[in-house]
A and B are shown apart, each in its own frame.
Chain A
């Protein structure tokens, strides 16, 4: 599975690299130009903000595959992930689940630290370091989050996809990953450097020791995470007329805003 995924990433790295960056730069320039325009006529007062959404044709060469994978993931979520995490949520109290989520988040500190530094957000990187030190010790290996509750030091989620986006790399075509859900070429490629910094993967710290443990650790991570978001997936699904393009839109809009931050 892993070998397949890696091959897959590299094939598309080439693709993403060949996507002209200038194309995305142009659209941002246009956007600025539109924003600079003086207030519009009565009728079109909101067009400056929403005009782009009228565009029906989206650059989506993998839409066929993406639709199928969205359908596949939906079956997995509805029949496996959601029932499992619902059962789990009934057995494990919410405080414990939050603690587990905090521990995972604390372990992934190197990813956030490096990506903040790469984006020259040094104050945030420093705050992250402080969080890691306080939460790993006083917070009992990250189970509690005294850094936030006592010191108001916030986590600053950054990943390599955001770092690339920060330096102007466009998202490339949308791609839905098995199990993981919506992504795009840029963010998919970014999984590799990020997982090298992630202790719960086998690359760097070797915390899981072997791939079976790694799989187990990640299953716990996803079930635990999903148990803290119960009902959200179903609720979002109801807002969609056509589920796949809707999810694609949510993902891409969310990433644009994360990169801007």
Chain B
């Protein structure tokens, strides 16, 4: 069947539209050159939000995650946290784990933000480690000591945007602590126990 001219115009319009849409996604994604500026603007917005007494805590948290959700690679983080054990899981178990672990990470992040009062955050330079890895150095000026916080980005294979796969605070890698804990836990417990454990904390908080 031959296509009518109208149909082929429609189709090319559709192609152009979807191309445009794709490229707009590319633009909004974090590129190597704007990691520092993007994060600086996110951090500034977050500290402003935290100091704003007019907004309710609940709303603050959701606004903060609107800023940070697109930057954190929760998929890779879930994989890293489980290490070898990830391969043993079924696809459903992987989804369950990812959901529970993402919530746990967010809860822990909110907890830390509660401690924030009016400290200054300085965003320093990025440091390229490999073609696909970049560290962003920041410092939180605390009341008694300064905390070095390093955001670790990797270039994703899907649309080569840069996303966070780990955060280091005063030299402690958050993903390393989880990976260690989970591998220890799973050496004497089942995967279902782990999910229970992760969800248990959620309820307690």
Q: Please report the C-alpha to C-alpha distance between residue A102 and residue B130 in the assembled complex, in whole angstroms.
A: 40
Mark each residue of chain B from 140 to 184: 1 if its CB lies under 8 Å from any CB of chain A, else 0.
001110000000001001000000011010111101110111111
Residues of chain A contacted by B121 (CB below 8 angstroms): none
Q: Please report the C-alpha to C-alpha distance between residue A250 and residue B181 in the assembled complex, in whole angstroms.
A: 11
Residues of chain A contacted by B175 (CB below 8 angstroms): 50
Check if A246 sits within 8 Å of B132, measured CB to CB: no
**Is B2 in contact with chain A by the CB < 8 A criterion?**
no
Check if A241 sits within 8 Å of B181, measured CB to CB: yes
Residues of chain B contacted by A242 (CB below 8 angstroms): 181, 184-185
Q: Which of B79, B87, B205 contacts A46 (CB 8 A)?
A: B79
**Is A180 in contact with chain B by the CB < 8 A criterion?**
no
Residues of chain B contacted by A39 (CB below 8 angstroms): 130-132
Q: Please report the C-alpha to C-alpha distance between residue A55 and residue B179 in the assembled complex, in whole angstroms.
A: 10
Q: Please report the C-alpha to C-alpha distance between residue A42 and residue B205 in the assembled complex, in whole angstroms.
A: 36
Report whether over half of chain A's contact residues are helix, strand or loop; otherwise say mixed: helix
Q: Please report the C-alpha to C-alpha distance between residue A56 and residue B177 in the assembled complex, in whole angstroms.
A: 12
Query: Which of the candidate stretches A9-17, A68-76, A111-119, A252-260 sits at the interface with the other chain?
Result: A252-260
Q: Please report the C-alpha to C-alpha distance between residue A55 and residue B181 in the assembled complex, in whole angstroms.
A: 10
> Nearest CB to that of A97 among chain B residues?
B143
Check if B172 sits within 8 Å of A253, measured CB to CB: yes
**Is B102 in contact with chain A by the CB < 8 A criterion?**
no
Check if A53 sits within 8 Å of B83, measured CB to CB: yes
Check if B112 sits within 8 Å of A235, measured CB to CB: yes
> Nearest CB to that of B183 among chain A residues?
A54
**Is A225 in contact with chain B by the CB < 8 A criterion?**
yes
Q: Please report the C-alpha to C-alpha distance between residue A53 and residue B181 in the assembled complex, in whole angstroms.
A: 9
Q: B144, B154, B157, B187 — which one has the most chain A CB atoms within 10 A of its CB?
A: B144
Residues of chain A contacted by B112 (CB below 8 angstroms): 235
**Is B84 in contact with chain A by the CB < 8 A criterion?**
yes
Shortest CB–CB separation between residue B158 and chain A, in angstroms?
12
With contact pairs A39-B130, A56-B187, A238-B201 given, residues A253 and B171 touching in the complex (Cβ less than 8 Å): yes
Check if A254 sits within 8 Å of B172, measured CB to CB: yes
**Is B76 in contact with chain A by the CB < 8 A criterion?**
yes
Residues of chain A contacted by B182 (CB below 8 angstroms): 241
> Nearest CB to that of B185 among chain A residues?
A241
List A residues 195-244 near B (Cβ within 8 Å). 225, 228-229, 231-232, 235, 238-242
Check if A246 sits within 8 Å of B181, measured CB to CB: yes
Check if A249 sits within 8 Å of B144, measured CB to CB: no
> Nearest CB to that of B111 among chain A residues?
A235
Q: Please report the C-alpha to C-alpha distance between residue A257 and residue B115 in the assembled complex, in whole angstroms.
A: 24
Can you name 9 A-B residue pairings with CB atoms under 8 Å? A50-B179, A53-B183, A56-B183, A56-B184, A240-B181, A241-B181, A242-B184, A246-B177, A250-B177
Q: Please list the residues of chain A having a beta carbon within 8 angstroms of any beta carbon in chain B.
A: 39, 42-43, 45-47, 49-51, 53-56, 94, 97-98, 101, 225, 228-229, 231-232, 235, 238-242, 245-246, 249-250, 253-258, 260
Extra pairs beyond A98-B143, A98-B144 (12, CB < 8 Å)? A46-B76, A46-B154, A47-B83, A53-B180, A54-B84, A55-B183, A229-B144, A241-B185, A245-B180, A253-B171, A257-B168, A260-B171
